[in-house]
Structure 1
Amino acid sequence: MTQFTNQLINGQWKKGSSDKVIENKNPYNDKLLFTIQSADKSDLEEAYTAAQKAQKAWADMPLYEKQQLFDQLLEKMKAEKETIIDWLAKEAGSTKIKAESEFAAAVAVVKESASFLTRVTGVILPSYTPGKENRVYRSPKGVVGIIGPWNFPFHLTLRSLAPALATGNTAVIKPASETPVTAGLLIGKLFQDAGFPDGVVNVVVGRGSVIGDDFIDNPIPKLISFTGSTEVGRHIGESAGRNLKEVALELGGNNVMIVLKDANIERAAKAAAFGKFLNQGQICMALNRIIVEKEVHDKFVTAFMDEVKKLRVGDPADPATFVGPLINKEQVERIQKQVQESVEQGAVIELEGQSEGALLPPIVLTGVTAGMPIAKNEIFGPVAPIMKADSVEHAIELANDSIYGLSGSIFTEDRHRGVEIAKRIETGMIHINDQPVNDEAHVPFGGEKASGVGRFNGEWAIEKFTTVKWISVQEGYREYPI
């Protein structure tokens, strides 16, 4: 715990230099876990400089030594599994089910990233010039700045960090202020305990309003990786663009489940309940809108309500809990305001519980139309808006009526037809007969439109965290027309 009240810079745990303090609170009971002295611009500069100095030696380290370090990291993660899950519960409000799935996803992404050690390859291409050989070399970008989120803090930070390191980069992490341990400090300790060299992983904790712009504008990092809201992502993209710096942005979503009239309604309802209320809906991929063909609308609502009523709401430390607290009370107030405005515009509340602190029981709405706040905005909370579609074409139109395009799903007994419909949905990911919360470490993850830029995972991560250089080799000497 003492380490987690400090910054991790160049292998040393040190107090932040700012006079500002960040309070780390348990969102379920609002108890103070600890306070941490915030980093300032000087700490950030020190961290980036340390990463820059460590990068060449790290990139040049023999592969077998790097492989040993990644193996040791996986062993440390497995040994500390219960500690990690405990921190996810008390810092992020994660339920046992969510924390277990997050840990498994984190292990998978580290394993996949370790394979990059032998997958960063170049290519030799022919030339139109006689006697010339074109060689294309792939190398690390250098230093990567990673801004970790608070909703899936452990996995989503590692989803950028592990591939960045495996491809030869070093990194500086700025974790979300709500989850400084699970989005940064605990991760830094795991890498340190696994034996990674000093300076390869650095963690600076400070609010975005204090060091956010400096984190992006610093000339050392060549790429900024961010997972979070579209509003913040736009700002990061604008700042990076001014500095001609690359970004990897995984942003918001307004994801749909389309339930066609030939769907297995019971299966669709169960999948919808999971995909909507896992982690209280605080997932970029969570269901935001459930679009049901009119012929089966009422049947689906009944089946869905039956599933939702089974979900236990309460203490995330209780293994039986499925819906825990939101990250803070402000999120509850924001969501309740959007629900009220939507009801005033004609939405009907089918299910609603009494909120308590940061706990907000599931809310189910019917009669939702596209212009309502609860359908137009990313909810990021436990509210399920159900929309009625007059036809498949109408369902597709409703699905695409959004600035977002991250994930989605389609339920139908005709899988081929489902795929043809999926091709017409403007989204980076979509799943047939499944809910939209899916992430596999070897499959491209990312969105279209306002849902982000770039793809994470697998060979797409290798592409994102490396750069290529063309070196041509001329055998003999060319003749020039001069």
Structure 2
Amino acid sequence: MLDDVDWRGKIFSGGWVAAHGGTLPVTEPATGEVLAEVGQADAQDIDNAVQQAAAAQPAWAETPGPERAALIRRVARLLEDNRAEFEHWLVREGGAIPPKAAFEVDLVLAELWEAAALPTQPWGHLLPTSEAGRESIARRVPLGVVGVISPWNFPQILSMRAVAPALALGNAVVLKPDVNTAVAGGTLIARLFEAASLPAGLLHVLAGDAPAGAALTEHPGVAAISFTGSTAVGRLVGEAAGRTLKRVSLELGGNNALVILDDADLEVASSAGAWGAFLHQGQVCMTAGRHIVLDTVADEYIDRLAARAAQLPVGDPFRGEVALGPLINAKQLSNVDRIVTSTVSAGASVRAGGKYADLFYEPTVLADVTTSMPAFREEIFGPVAPVVVVSTEDEAVAAANDSEYGLVAAIQTGSVERGRAFAARLRTGIVHVNDQTLNNDAFAPFGGTGASGNGTRFGSAHSWDEFTQWQWVTLREQAHGFPF
């Protein structure tokens, strides 16, 4: 798809155009090779995009729902036909292993098919009225221009889960993908909609750093911001969006608990623990970042988890069959190493991993971790499984809730009723019993609490709440007078 257009060094905004902010290199983290370059948007580019989007959006909102649905279906079919190209860029630019890339494209397809169903759903209510001769209606109307700021770890799904439903429901969209995955999370998405003949001006894709994100968030012509990223940046986005009174959706970080009760199948539990901690090098907001284990089974769980970690090969996912690829950049590597090193200095022990070469960090298991150590308190965003041992179920609940984050938790137990009761005591937006923390369904509500977000939900019918607003309309056959 990218061979068909002149996209290199450019942004997508009224076509493929040069950016006022210059260009950015597209780098492969596994090798450091520069794969291409894209345009780097600045505040002027953002302003131009918002103005074009605002001008195009009213006609799109008036387009019949079935036509908008058909457009989204065309996008899905194009992705199905070209998925190898999308997976390729996730591997090369994002450091994903091929199965992760394929899984992400599957998630994107699910989001597109769900979004395509939205425009033909009922979009209002006939209300009772307090006066004879008056008809009263509540209807959903688009917000206008929606700004989407997406991250680098799952760049296609975390862009598309906002872009697709926002467009399907009659909005225009300005997407700012992360510069680390500007092609996988931006350029390819622009090409999909362009090839599907989305009317001009409705989607703009502009990679950029913090100034571009700030310009989009603060722009008075943007009605809503959908942000997925770190908690620290999310707080800044929420503050800026609040000043212009725009709607804001914040999907932020997580420091998620995987709880192993004493009746769990430890072979299964350690498999869930390894998958939850090490998938995509632990660079997922839903990663199992805190393994909380009852003491009677802790030694065996740690042994099994460490054995699994030691057998996972790490390397270049484009040139070899590996389980873990590189971390996204040197900054991320430095942060992971800082947390591991300081936790070991505080008294934890390394049972597997703990070493790295270039951007390749070994899957790491830390034992003897306490709730005061950095690996317990901070979101690591790397392939590290800190294990905390507790004596009772009440202590396990307290440890799981001992975090400012509240995205997801998972529980391993031999009793589903015990798991259900335990789940009811957790302060998270998502809980899985006899599973691991990494789950996503396009039709399920998704969101966290506390430092993990403002409780906003993505997913199928919940997109109506994110990307439309209610309008109350009354109608009379004839006007009438009033006492004044």
Q: Please, what TM-score do these two structures have when normalized by structure 1?
A: 0.96
Aligned match of 1:320: 321
1:77-88 matches, within 5 Å, as: 77-88=79-90
Counterpart CA distance in 2 for 1:167 and 1:417 is 41
SS in 2 for 1:452: coil
Alignment of structure 1 residues 93-242 onto 2, 5 Å: 93-208=95-210, 210-242=211-243
Aligned match of 1:256 = 257
- Please say if 1:342 is aligned against 2:343: yes
Q: CA deviation at 1:353?
A: 5.1
Supply the AA of the counterpart residue of 2:142: P
Secondary structure in 2 matching 1:430: strand
Structure 2 Cα separation of the partners of residues 477 and 90 of structure 1 = 65
Matches within 5 A, 1:440-459: 440-453=441-454, 454-459=456-461
Shift of 1:378: 0.5
Aligned equivalent of 2:17, options 11, 14, 37:
14
- For 2:294 and 2:236, the matched residues in 1 are separated by 38
Q: CA separation in 1, counterparts of 2:480 and 2:334?
A: 72
How many angstroms does 1:307 deviate by?
A: 2.0
Identity %: 38
CA distance in 2, matches of 1:243, 1:479: 38
Query: Distance between the aligned counterparts of 2:354 and 2:368, measured in 1?
Result: 19
CA distance in 1 between counterparts of 2:157 and 2:362 reads 25
Contact 2:187/2:205 (<8 A) preserved = yes
Q: Return the match for 1:3 from 4, 7, 14.
A: 7
Cross-structure match for 2:62 = 60
Q: Establish whether residue 356 from structure 1 lines up as the match of residue 357 from structure 2.
A: yes
Post-superposition offset of 1:43: 1.4
Q: How many residues align?
A: 479
Instruction: Indicate if the aligned counterparts of 1:120 and 1:462 stay in contact, CA closer than 8 A.
Output: no
Structure 1 stretch displaced more, 296-305 or 250-259: 296-305
The structural deviation recorded for 1:478 is 7.8
Cα displacement (A) at 1:205? 1.8
Identify the residue that residue 90 of structure 1 maps to in structure 2.
92
Are the aligned partners of 2:410 and 2:436 in contact in 1 as well (CA < 8 Å)? yes
Note the C-alpha offset of 1:71. Answer: 2.1
Code of the aligned partner of 1:63: G
What is the identity, as a one-letter code, of the residue corresponding to 2:44? S
* Contact 1:17 1:39 survives alignment (8 Å): yes
Residues 346 and 43 of structure 1: CA distance in aligned 2, closer, same or farther (over 3 Å):
same
Q: What CA distance in whole angstroms lies between the structure 1 residues aligned with 2:478 and 2:265?
A: 69
- Give how far 1:4 is off: 3.7
Select which of 40, 50, 54 maps to 2:52. 50
Aligned residue for 1:85, secondary structure, equals helix
Q: What do the CA deviations read for 1:1-52 (whole angstroms, capped 9, x no partner)?
A: 6414211112x1011112x432221011111112334222221111111111
Q: What residue number does 1:24 align with?
A: 26
Provide the C-alpha distance between the structure 2 equivalents of 1:318 and 1:455, rounded to a whole number of angstroms: 38
2:181 counterpart SS class: coil
CA separation in 1, counterparts of 2:480 and 2:347?
Answer: 76
Matching residue of 2:72: 70
1:139-160 deviation per Cα after TM superposition (whole angstroms, max 9, x unaligned): 1101100111100001110010
Q: Kindly indicate whether the alpha-carbon contact (under 8 Å) linking 2:97 and 2:322 is maintained by their aligned counterparts in 1.
A: yes
Equivalences for residues 399-478 of structure 1 within 5 A: 399-453=400-454, 454-473=456-475
Partner of 2:294: 293
CA distance in 2, matches of 1:38, 1:188: 15
- Answering whether residue 268 of structure 2 is matched by residue 267 of structure 1, we say yes
**Larger CA deviation: 366-375 vs 351-360:** 351-360
Deviates more, 1:80-89 or 1:330-339: 330-339
Whether contact under 8 Å (1:4, 1:186) holds in the other structure is no
Taking structure 1 as reference, are residues 132 and 407 closer, same or farther at Cα in structure 2, changes over 3 Å only?
Answer: same
Bigger mean CA deviation after superposition, 66-75 or 458-467: 66-75
Gap regions ≥5 residues in structure 1: none
Measure the CA separation in 1 of the matches of 2:317 and 2:435.
Answer: 25
Q: Deviations over 1:240-270 (max 9, x none)?
A: 0011011111100000101100111111110
In 2, are the aligned partners of 1:96 and 1:319 still within 8 Å (CA)? Answer: no
Q: Could you tell which deviates more after superposition, 64-73 or 255-264?
A: 64-73
1:96–1:318 contact (8 Å) kept in structure 2: no
In the TM superposition, what whole-angstrom CA distance separates every residue of 1:182-211 from its partner, at most 9, and x where no partner exists? 111110011101111111111112211x32
Question: Cα RMSD over matched residues?
Answer: 1.6
So what's the TM-score if we normalise by structure 2?
0.96
Letter in 2 for 1:178: N
Q: Which moved more, 1:438-447 or 1:300-309?
A: 300-309
Post-superposition offset of 1:177: 0.9
Matched, 1:391 2:395: no
Q: Is 2:276–2:288's contact at 8 Å kept on the other side of the alignment?
A: yes
SS of equivalent residue, structure 2 residue 362: coil
- 1:378 alignment partner in structure 2: 379
Contact 1:97 1:319 (8 Å CA) reproduced: no
Q: Which amino acid aligns with 2:93?
A: E
Deviation at 1:455, TM superposition (A): 0.6
- Cα 1:459–1:65 change in 2 (3 A) is closer
Structure 1 residue 233: Cα displacement: 0.4
Q: Deviations over 1:286-337 (max 9, x none)?
A: 1100000111111111121222222221111256311110001221111111
* Cα distance, 1:363 vs structure 2: 1.0
1:178 aligned counterpart, secondary structure: helix
C-alpha separation in 2, matches of 1:71 and 1:479? 50
Match of 1:25, as an amino acid? T
Task: Indicate the larger mover: 210-219 or 399-408.
Answer: 210-219
Q: 2:177 and 2:479 mapped to 1: Cα distance?
A: 54
Range moving further from structure 2, 232-241 or 39-48 = 39-48
Kept in 1: contact 2:66–2:120 (CA 8 A): no
